[in-house]
Amino acid sequence: MPQTVVGVDIGNSTTEASAATIGSDGSVQFLGAALAPTTGVKGTPRNVDGVADVVERALRTAGVAVGDLDVVLLNEATPVISGMAMETITETIITESTMIGHDPRTPGGRGLGVGTTVGFGALAETPAAEPVIVVVPRGVDFEVAAGEINAATRRGVAVAAAILGNDDAVLVVNRLDGAIPVIDEVSRIDAVPLGMLAAVEVAGPGQSIRTLSNAYGLATIFELDAAATRVVSPVARALTGNRSAVVVRTPAGDVADRTIPAGSLELKGENRRATVDVSRGAVEIMAAVERVSPLADVSGEAGTNTGGMIANVRQSMADLSEHAVADVHIKDLLAVDTFVPQEVRGGVAGEVALENAVALAAMVRTRDSGMQAVAAAVADRLRAGGAEDVEVIVGGVEAEMAVLGALTTPGTDKPLVVLDLGGGSTDAALIEIDGSIDAVHLAGAGDLVTKLIDAELGLDNLELAEDIKRCPLGKAESFFHVRLENGTVQFFEKPLPATAFARVVTLDGHSMNPIPGRHSMERIRTVRRTAKERIFVVNALRSLRTVAPGGDLRQIGFVVLLGGCALDFEIPQLIADALAPYGIVCGTGNIRGTEGPRNAVASGLVASYAGRSAGVLVGGSG
């Protein structure tokens, strides 16, 4: 007698269902599918609401009455959850207000000016001797400033340059008898030391300064010996790429590029142990993780930022899974180098430096999942809802089911690797020619990409960062056309919304969301793509090396990408490009030729059940 079954896959963020009828000979006919957001934490009885919802909707699209439902199959969810944290590991400190390198949008004049700093009020009494650099506080009108500078110049005072508090550089320079370099918008202008030798340099539009960003240029101006030149070299480096800058020579002035003692990570492998300092960066951390793998647990040095970071991850995982903290073990760790824009300590103009940071994602293996409890709750709910004879079975391990589902993608064959690119974790499973299956779960996926984009662009808005992750960019150059990120132009019949004008926008196909701030389209695109590469490409290679026979990627024929991030517009290409040298066929899955990268586990559950009930092994019946 044919049976009506529904396979249900409870994921971290979405619950998917496939409805099918299974003939007495084990033949499977898929009728409909549905998906809904997962309710509650995966593997807890709160999942019931989401499950009941998708089962009903899958049956409705299949055109089957709830009362005819025979079997619901649930996946044995992998008992892993993931968490992440970020720690800044460098900071830039300016002492004695030695340097102003804040790159105002509109500096004035061109060239290099060297002289002694003098307050605006004292300019009138300054004798005509050595060249001076005038420091003009906020509140002085541009015409007054220009007038005083002109008057001083006429008296014979060599005014070599000016530093302004207001955004007035162009206005002042336009009113001067002779052009001098002027830097403006120095917010804490009262902190600029007076009576000190200083240099101001302004480059032309699109250029960057040459002298102050060169250690020997500074040595020439300030007549430094070799030892002092070594001391100022961080100053020169900090100013690289700026259009304008000021350097003041003070007795103990310095710019320090300090490494924050972040603490170390202790990696406990099943056979080996390693300790690695977080401030050494992601490459060394990941090398250590690989050396000790398989990981058994990770702890951070007590009393350090790293210690706090790991403790936070552990605590939030414990809260989420309702386990004791002692039961939470970190089974995988992904470290990613990133940089965070932060205000420079000691800066006088709100200078921002990109500080190095390390982002960590941790994968935690919890005790057994509570799937049996979920199954019982689902059975109660569905029986109450009219499916009186329904049986709810926990039908198979997630990774195995995903492989069975993935094999229904047209054009695939064994040996095949499924890469499930989710929100919290990247999961891989290999099925070899003999049908044996091996799986691995790695930390770091879509959520970490969002977090990196948020941090690196300084957005402080995860929703916007998520939008940037998902959608291509454009710039609304007029009300009727948008320059897309590939350089082409899209025209519109109706004027664009006023909020989008002149802004970089995300294009999700229906609407445009303007991105605030001054980031250029190229910069946002670079941040987005490198964030995806640093996580998904790295994790793809990492997971394939783990599951591939003998760690040799060439032994893998096919890689099928599944999960929400496989729907992304560029992640599949980035991974395919990275895998191409190994002769691997890589692409986004198309489950049963119709479902795209969705529904693999649910389809696999049904196929596996059909195979079992017919007493034959089912490979890839579609």
Partner 1 sequence: MTDRVLTFIDEKPAEPGKRTDEVLVGISPAFADFFSQTITGMSHADVVRQILAGIEEQEVSARIVRIRHSSDLAVVAHTAAKLSGSGIAIGLLSRGTTMIHQRDLPRLSSLELFPQSPLMTLETYRQVGSNAAQYAKGESPEPVPTLNDQMARPRWQAKAALLHLKETEQIVKGAKPVEVVPQFAEALAN
Contact residues: partner 1, CB under 8 A: 106, 142, 167-171, 174, 477-480, 495, 498, 501-504, 516-518
DSSP, collapsed to helix, strand or coil, labels residue 329 as strand
Our CA angle for 74, 78, 82, nearest 5°, is: 130
Q: By C-beta, is 287 or 502 nearer to partner 1?
A: 502
Least distance CB 22 / partner 1 (angstroms): 58
Least distance CB 476 / partner 1 (angstroms): 9
Beta bridge partners of 244: 202
Q: By C-beta, is 328 or 504 nearer to partner 1?
A: 504
For residue 9, the one-letter residue type is: D
Q: By C-beta, is 22 or 189 nearer to partner 1?
A: 189
Least distance CB 131 / partner 1 (angstroms): 26
Question: Could you please report the per-residue DSSP string of 389-422?
Answer: T-EEEEEEEHHHHHHHHHTTSTT--SSEEEEEE-
Q: By C-beta, is 225 or 494 nearer to partner 1?
A: 494
Least distance CB 110 / partner 1 (angstroms): 13
Query: CA–CA separation, 200 vs 184, rounded Å?
Result: 11
Residue 339: DSSP 8-state: E
Q: By C-beta, is 46 or 503 nearer to partner 1?
A: 503
Query: CA–CA separation, 57 vs 6, rounded Å?
Result: 11
Q: By C-beta, is 335 or 524 nearer to partner 1?
A: 524
State the maximum Cα–Cα separation within the chain, in Å, rounded to a whole number.
108
Q: By C-beta, is 411 or 517 nearer to partner 1?
A: 517
Least distance CB 479 / partner 1 (angstroms): 4
Beta strand 71-76 pairing with 391-397: parallel
- CA torsion 155-157-158-160 (nearest 10°) is -110
Least distance CB 228 / partner 1 (angstroms): 37
Radius of gyration over every alpha carbon of the chain, rounded to an integer in angstroms: 31
Among candidates 109, 108, 129, 107, which has minimal Cα distance to 118? 129
Least distance CB 212 / partner 1 (angstroms): 23
User: What is the crossing angle of helices 446-456 and 521-532, to 10°?
Assistant: 150
Measured from the Cβ of residue 237, the count of other Cβ atoms closer than 10 Å reads 13
How many residues are present in the chain? 622
Q: By C-beta, is 237 or 523 nearer to partner 1?
A: 523
Both tokens of residue 613? 């009930």
In 90-241 the beta strands, taken as DSSP E runs, fall at 90-95, 99-100, 111-119, 132-136, 159-164, 182-183, 197-202
For residue 179, the one-letter residue type is: A
Q: By C-beta, is 189 or 235 nearer to partner 1?
A: 189
H-only helix segments in 77-166: 142-155
Q: By C-beta, is 442 or 524 nearer to partner 1?
A: 524
Least distance CB 143 / partner 1 (angstroms): 9
Least distance CB 561 / partner 1 (angstroms): 35
Among candidates 79, 40, 86, which has minimal Cα distance to 448? 86
Q: By C-beta, is 63 or 205 nearer to partner 1?
A: 205
Least distance CB 340 / partner 1 (angstroms): 21
382 half-sphere exposure, CB direction, 13 A CA radius: 32
Among candidates 264, 256, 271, which has minimal Cα distance to 92? 256
Q: By C-beta, is 161 or 607 nearer to partner 1?
A: 161
Both tokens of residue 563? 């999960």
Least distance CB 185 / partner 1 (angstroms): 10
Question: Could you please report the per-residue DSSP string of 377-393?
Answer: HHHHHHHHTT-TT-EEE
Question: How many helical (H) and strand (E) elements, i.e. helices and strands, does the chain have?
Answer: 15, 30
Q: By C-beta, is 204 or 615 nearer to partner 1?
A: 204
Q: By C-beta, is 339 or 479 nearer to partner 1?
A: 479
Percent of the chain that is helix, strand, coil (3-state, to 5)? 35, 30, 35
Phi-psi region of 40 (alpha: psi -120 to 50; beta: other; left: phi over 0): left
Least distance CB 313 / partner 1 (angstroms): 35
For residue 594, the one-letter residue type is: T
Q: By C-beta, is 171 or 547 nearer to partner 1?
A: 171
Least distance CB 464 / partner 1 (angstroms): 15
Least distance CB 168 / partner 1 (angstroms): 7
CB 74 within 8 A of CB 378: yes
Least distance CB 136 / partner 1 (angstroms): 15
H-only helix segments in 165-292: 169-174, 215-222, 226-238, 282-292
Least distance CB 140 / partner 1 (angstroms): 13
Q: By C-beta, is 170 or 576 nearer to partner 1?
A: 170
Quickly tell me which residue has 């729907």 as its tokens. 567
Distance in angstroms between the alpha carbons of the first and the last residue of the chain: 20
